[in-house]
Amino acid sequence: MAKTNKLIIVESPTKVKAIKKFLGAGYEVAASNGHVRDLPKSQLGIDVEHDYEPKYITIRGKGELLSALRKQVAKADVIYLATDPDREGEAISWHLIAALKLNEMPGKKVYRITFNEITKKAVRESLEHARGIDMNLVDAQQARRALDRVVGYRISPLLWAKVKRGLSAGRVQSVALRMIADREAEIDAFIPEEYWTIDADFTVAGLKKPVTAHYYGTQLPDGTQEKAAIASKEEADRLLAELKNADYRVAEVKVSDRVRKAPAPFTTSTLQQEASKVLGFSTLKTMRIAQQLYEGIDIKGIGTVGLITYLRTDSIRISDEAQQAAEQFITGTYGDTYPAAPAEKKQTARIQDAHEAIRPSDITRTPEQIAGSLSRDQVRLYQLIWRRFTASRMADARYEQTRVRIEAPVKDVRTHIFTMSFSRLIFDGFLKVYDPGEESEETDKKADKNLGNVLQKDEKLETPTFDPEQHFTQPQPHYTEASLVKALEEKGIGRPSTYAPTISTILARRYITKEGKNLYMTEVGEVVNDIMLGSFPTIVDPGFTANMENSLDSVAEGNTNWKSILESFYPDLEKSVEQAEKDLEKVKIADEETEEVCEKCGRHMVIKYGPHGKFLACPGFPECRNTKPYYEKIGVACPKCGQDIVIMKSKKGRKFYGCINSECDFMSWQRPTGEKCPRCGSALVEKGNKVTCMNSECGYVAEEKIATRED
C-alpha cells in the first residue's frame, strides 16, 4: 500500500472532509470521535493514597477505532494532533499519544496543531506553527477532571442511599443548584411594597397630541432636589391636590448629543444568553448548533467549510486580519461612515485570551447567501453571530437627546418637578445591522418629535390632566438559562465549556424544572440542595468554587502543580463525607413509613422518590406493585371549599399548594394560611415571615408576623 506522508487526527468526523479538501495529496485526515481514554466508571480512578495518580483506561467501544488509527499511523511519517484548541482538546491529544503509543515509535514525528476556524488559510497556518503538547493545559484539564470525579464519586452515593439512585453531586452543578435555590427563597420571602407614580399630560400649542411628563419630585428653596417616594393612595391624593392648583412653566429645555456604543462580539456566555433571549434556544441547543457551524457545513458551490470560529471562548479579541476584512466589507456595503475600529472593552482577570471572540470565518459570506444550505435553526444562529460581529466593527449610533424640566412652585415652600425626554436617531451606525435591544436611556414614546423646537424655556403651560397609577415592587425574577449563565460567569464559576452541560445535567436529574423560560426548584432538587448545604457547605460556596477555577488557571499558566490542588482539597472532602454519613444515618428521607394503608395487601405504604419527587409505594414490592400519589397535608382548610390543602407538584415537578378536592381549582405558589384577606377577600399566604394577600393587585400585608414553622 502507498505510504501516507502526513496524518492529521481531529476530534470530529465532520471536520475530516473539509480539512482534507484544504490540504490535498500527501495528507490523510482521521477522527478520534472525541476522547479515547478516561477514568473508569466502575471505580474512583484516582489513587488518593499514592500521589493522586489517575488511572486511565480505553473508553468502551473505542478499541476498533483505535485499531484503525494505529494502521493509519503506521503509514505516516508525521502525525499532527489537531483536536480542539482548548484545555480539553489538549488533553485529548495527550491521551491519543498514549493510546496509540506514538512516543514508542522511533522515526515518527508527532506535533500538536490548533486552528481557531476551519478554513484553508487557518489550517495551513497551523501546520507552519506546529508545536509539542502543552502539559500545563493538559494538567489543568486533569485537575478539573479529578476534582469533578472525587466530588461526584464520594458524595453521590450518599444521595443514592438517602434519596434515590441516579442522582449526582457535581462540583459546579451543586453551586448552580444552590444559586437557583437561593433565588427561589428570595422570591418566596419577598414582600411587595406599594408605590405610586403620577404622569401629567400637557397640551402644548403647535403639537397635535398632548405630551406626557413624569413626576420627579420636589426642589426646596435652597436648591436641594428630592426624588419622590409616594407610598400610598393617600399621599398621592394629597400631592394631586397641590398639583391641581399650581402654575406650570418650562424651566429647562436641554438638547444634547448621545452616543450608543457598538456591542462587543460574542463570547460563549453572551452567545448563549442572546440566543436564549432572541431565538428561544436552550444553552445546549445553542452549543450544538454552534458546533455544527464551526465544524463545517456543505455550502452549495463552495463545499464543506467552517462558518464560524471556535465556539468555546471568553475572549472578545479579534485578529488584525478579521478586523481589516470587516472594515473593507462594511465600507463596500454600507458606506465610508459606517466602519470603525473600536477600542476593545476591558476584560476581567479571569479571561483566557487564547482564542478570538466568536465570529463568522468569512464576513463576506452573508446569511442570505448561504441560507439555502443551512437548516432553519442554523440560519438563525449564524445570522445572530454574523450581525453581532459586523455590528461590533461598526461606528457607534448617535442620538439627539432632548430633556425638558417643568416646574410648579407652591408658594415659597417647595417646587414640584416634572420631566420628559425624547431621543431622535441622527446616525444609525451599528444599528444598521443589529439592535441588541438594551437601550437604557428613558425615551418617552408619547413625546412629539418636534418637542425641542416647540417648547421654550420659561413658557407657561396650562394645568395638565393627571394620571396617578398604583404599583407594587417586584422581587428579582426567576433564573432563566440565560440569566443563570450570566450569573455563573460573573461569579467566576465554571468556564465556557461548562455552562451548557451544567444546566442540562440539573435539568436531566430533575433537580430543577423549566416552565416557559424560567427555572424552578423541584422537590428532589430541594432535598439534594439541603443535603449539600448542610453537609458540604464548602462545595456549594460560590466563592470557593470561583477560587478553585483560579487555581486551575494557575495550573494552565504553569504556576501550580495540579496534584497539589487535590492534596489540599481531598482530605477535607473525605472528612466531610465521613461526618455526613454519620449525620444522615439519623435522617429519614426515603422509605419513610406512613399511615396510608395499601388497599391491595394491607401493608403501610412508604414514601419513595421518583423522577418527579415523592410518591407512595407498597413495601411488598415485587409481590405488590401498588403505588399512588403522595400528598402532604399542611393542616389548612381550602378557602374555597373547606377541604384539605396539600402540597402538590406540577407536571414538571414544581411544588405548589392545591386543594385535595379534584373538583376545586384553588392553587397557590405560596403556603396558604386558611384565612381570607380583609381587604379583598382573597386567600392570605405566607411570604417569608409575614402574611400577605395572594392577589398581587391588592397588596395587603398583615402587620403581625407569623411564627417560624418547621416544614
Examine residue 622 and say whether the peptide bond preceding it is cis (omega within 30 degrees of 0): yes
- Is 528 within the bounds of a domain? yes
Lowest mean pLDDT among 205-214, 238-247, 379-388, 685-694: 685-694
- Is 276 within the bounds of a domain? no
Q: How many residues are given for the chain? A: 711
Per the CB < 8 A criterion, the answer to whether 271 and 426 are in contact is no
707 pLDDT more than 50? no
- Is 275 within the bounds of a domain? no
Q: Which residues pair with 54 in a beta bridge?
A: 46
- Edge-to-edge strand list for the sheet holding 672-676: 672-676, 683-687, 690-693
Q: Return the pLDDT at 165.
A: 80
Report the greatest alpha carbon distance in the chain.
103
Per the CB < 8 A criterion, the answer to whether 139 and 87 are in contact is no
Per the CB < 8 A criterion, the answer to whether 255 and 400 are in contact is yes
- How far, in Å, CA of 542 to CA of 179, rounded? 8
Q: What is the span of the domain harbouring residue 698?
A: 636-711
Q: How far apart, in Å, are the Cα atoms of 258 and each of 177, 195, 341, 399, 402?
A: 41, 31, 19, 5, 10
- 505 lies in the same domain as 429: no
Strand ranges in 613-654 using DSSP code E only, listed in sequence order? 613-617, 627-629, 632-637, 644-649
- 103 lies in the same domain as 182: no
- Is 377 within the bounds of a domain? yes
- 81 lies in the same domain as 162: no
The pLDDT tens digits for 48-71 are 999 999 999 999 999 999 999 999
- 606 lies in the same domain as 535: no
- 563 lies in the same domain as 539: yes
- 387 lies in the same domain as 401: no
The crossing angle, in degrees rounded to 10, of helices 481-490 and 171-189 is 110
- 335 lies in the same domain as 436: no
Per the CB < 8 A criterion, the answer to whether 209 and 450 are in contact is no
Taking the model in full, what pTM does it have?
A: 0.84
How many domains are there within the chain? 6
> Mean per-residue pLDDT for 302-321?
93
- 385 lies in the same domain as 430: no
Residue 412 CB contacts under 8 Å (≥ 6 apart), including other chains: 221
- 85 lies in the same domain as 123: yes
The CATH number of the domain holding residue 319 is: 1.10.290.10
Pairing of strands 397-410, 414-427: antiparallel
Q: Return the pLDDT at 620.
A: 86
7 pLDDT more than 90? yes
Of 282, 192, 688, 695, the residue nearest 518 (C-alpha) = 282
Question: Which is the catalytic residue, given 52, 310, 434, 657?
Answer: 310
What percent of the chain lies above the pLDDT cut of 90?
66
The pLDDT tens digits for 411-447 are 778 899 999 998 889 999 999 999 987 654 444 444 4
The CATH number of the domain holding residue 93 is: 3.40.50.140
Q: Could you count the other beta carbons within 10 Å of the beta carbon of residue 5?
A: 13
- How far, in Å, CA of 284 to CA of 175, rounded? 19
Domain boundary pick from 440, 472, 504: 472
Q: Is 382 a catalytic residue?
A: no
Alpha helices per DSSP H over 78-119: 87-99
Domain boundary pick from 472, 505, 539: 472
Q: 690: pLDDT confidence band, cut at 50, 70 and 90?
A: confident
Distance linking the first and last C-alpha atoms of the chain: 74
The CATH number of the domain holding residue 447 is: 2.70.20.10
- Is 144 within the bounds of a domain? no
- 441 lies in the same domain as 468: yes
- How far, in Å, CA of 515 to CA of 246, rounded? 50
Q: Return the pLDDT at 686.
A: 85
Exposed e or buried b for every residue in 94-133, given b needs 16+ CB within 10 A?
bbbbebbebeeeeebebbbbbbbbbbeebbeebbeebeeb
The pLDDT tens digits for 527-547 are 899 999 999 999 999 999 999
- Is 408 within the bounds of a domain? yes
- 171 lies in the same domain as 247: no
Q: Return the pLDDT at 631.
A: 84
3-state secondary structure of 175: helix
- Is 1 within the bounds of a domain? no
The pLDDT tens digits for 128-176 are 999 999 999 999 999 999 999 999 999 999 888 877 788 889 999 999 9
Q: Return the pLDDT at 24.
A: 78
- Is 464 within the bounds of a domain? yes
**CA 567 to chain CA mean position, Å:** 32
- 179 lies in the same domain as 199: no
